[in-house]
Amino acid sequence: MRLPDFLIIGAAKSGTTTLFRYLSKHPQVFVPRDRRNKEPNFFGLDEKYARGLDYYSSLFADAQPHQICGEASTDYAKWPKFPEAASRIAQTLPQVKLIYVMRNPVDRAYSYYVHINRNRPVEETFEDYICRTTEALDASNYMLQIEQYLKYFSRDAFLFLFMEDLIQQPAAVVKQVCQFLTIDDRVDCTSEVITANQGKKHFDDTIRSKITAPLKSIPLVAATATRLPQGWRDQAYNFLQKTTYAKGLKQQYSPHPMRFETRQMLVEKFMEPNQALSKFLDRDLSHWNQ
């Protein structure tokens, strides 16, 4: 029975998908290729956990003997929403290696709000969202999440990373991960720069799909459009973008910006846990408090 040797436990919207994709290129690493299984959240969701280890191990059944296995479920660092994740992981995978990627906690919380509102009209403001639920803010309290795992794992079981380093020095970060996982760190997994979950591109693609949907529903127009050169289609889309209908869609699907006073309040809220994290990791995080 194959089970993970490492887990990327979070934080959501902090570069975990990018890191996951880099590692998937390493010949000594096996990760679930099916997009639906990239974040199985086996240890978080009760209904998944109830399916048992036979189900979970099936996700890694195709791993070769020379490969280590891993997965990335960012829900594992969303306590108290998934309160038993850490204890279940410790019980099932006591020797597992844990990778935790972090970023500015205020930016992460807002990015998560944008993420959960993708592909739909955005009615709720960020302020209303964080008043309704503490999920985004809890997941941005990194020291709080780490403490749940320190009840069961030693400090040596962790590799703590930062999204800013992954963006600026992807090769160095992946090399660090390879050394942590004791696999060949000479393999170049970052020759192709990966930027996953690009918010603006995703938004633009969604709007383009919504704007052109009424025309695509007309069979003759849809058939003609597929025969046109891409340049002509782009010109037609640029014209459609200027219509009142398109402008209304953009406004409807655009996430509400974070208010200045909200950012100031959240900076103050996270100051103490950020200081605790800074001391724990012996890393200057004062730029998060600006």
Q: Where are the domains of the chain?
A: 6-180, 199-253
Q: How many CB atoms are located within 10 Å of the residue 67 CB? A: 18
pLDDT, residue 107, reads: 98
Instruction: For residues 241 and 255, give the distance between their C-alpha atoms in angstroms, rounded to a whole number.
Output: 18
Instruction: Give the Å distances, CA to CA, from 112 to 12, 146, 161.
Output: 7, 19, 19
Instruction: For residues 182 and 169, give the distance between their C-alpha atoms in angstroms, rounded to a whole number.
Output: 20
pLDDT, residue 254, reads: 73
Q: Could you tell me which CATH class the domain 6-180 is placed in?
A: alpha beta
Q: How many CB atoms are located within 10 Å of the residue 210 CB? A: 17
pLDDT, residue 255, reads: 85
Instruction: For residues 56 and 8, give the distance between their C-alpha atoms in angstroms, rounded to a whole number.
Output: 16
pLDDT, residue 290, reads: 82
Q: Which among 91, 183, 75 is positioned nearest to 136, based on CA atoms? A: 75
pLDDT, residue 282, reads: 98
**Residue 177: partners with Cβ closer than 8 Å, 6 or more residues away:** 19, 23, 99, 159, 161
- pTM score of the predicted model: 0.84
**Position 122: which residue type?**
V
**Residue-by-residue pLDDT tens, the chain, 290 positions:** 999 999 999 999 999 999 999 999 999 999 998 766 679 999 999 999 999 999 999 999 999 999 999 999 999 999 999 999 999 999 999 999 999 999 999 999 999 999 999 877 788 999 999 999 999 999 999 999 999 999 999 999 999 999 999 999 999 999 999 999 999 999 999 887 666 655 555 455 665 566 666 655 666 555 665 666 777 556 655 655 667 655 555 555 678 899 999 999 999 999 999 999 999 999 999 999 98
CA 178 vs. chain centroid, Å, equals: 20
Instruction: For residues 158 and 277, give the distance between their C-alpha atoms in angstroms, rounded to a whole number.
Output: 14
